[in-house]
Structure 1
Amino acid sequence: MAGYIQYLKTASGILKIAETVTVAITFGLFRGIPLTFGDTHHFAGNLGTDTDFFAGGVMVTALIVTPLFFVFYLLGRKEIKKTGMEIVLNFILSVFLFISGSLCLAFYNSAPLPSPWNSRDREGVTMGVFCYISASFYLADTLVALKNFCRKETETDA
């Protein structure tokens, strides 16, 4: 039990929780209100746009991969740190969330917004800002994972 609590106090543990919460909030805004990430001239009914599919896919991937890493680390599985996979996935998610946030903010800051999105500009900007916050958490987690990878931990390290 002490190992679980010890991981929760590390930078990696705190970042995993922050990443999951911010991506979940972003996804909740996207699907719950609902909002778009832009380019509504291709919007047909409930299908969405290419930017929606891209950003939605990035968020779903983050909501699957991050809790998996979190659970593995809670269970004491440290083999992942030796592969470099966490570094690559964190960096890709950071870049893709930054792109999603940029597309979102570009759309909601354009004037004039097409109907029905003109009444949802505050929520859309909030969604874009949460994408940026999530991207910054993933970038920080990339650096932490890179530090852990370069440290060459042994099996007996805590």
Structure 2
Amino acid sequence: MIFDTETEEKIIACDPDKIERIILNLLSNAIKFTPSKGYIYVNIYDGQDKTIISVKDTGIGIKEDMKNLIFQRFIQVDKSTSRNREGSGIGLSLVKSLVELHNGKIDLITSIGNGSEFIIELPNTQVKTVNTNPENLQESKNNKNLELINLELSDIYF
């Protein structure tokens, strides 16, 4: 897994828990559908009016006729009882909904055998700052993050 960013810090108006859930879901899918010697790239680009997040893998890819369907609830690319991956089929539907709630959009570039790239665009919206003490929130945030990571990655067996 390779993480890269154009900028070290970008502050935009968003729900950080929802953004984390979006990223964890995309990473979970990338891990499930990328062979053990494959790569997963996470990039963040700072646009003038938007922030772009890309999660790209060298996995199995998605058939062209499934590209628009995978964002629908309960849709799975492989519905057979012998499939190798777990999941309910609501992950990408939830991801799309959460992105849209942030007034953003999500696109998919994919082809069979060449992996997939999910591209999220979020507006660079700003809000008035709220005076909070990050030190008081850090411990509970760490516990919450661990619970969320365990939940999002629960269908991956190592």
Short-chain TM bin: 0.3 to 0.5
Larger Rg: 1
The structure that is strand-richer by fraction is: 2
What TM-score do you get using the length of structure 1 for normalisation? Answer: 0.36
Q: Which has the higher helix share?
A: 1
Normalising by structure 2, we get a TM-score of 0.36
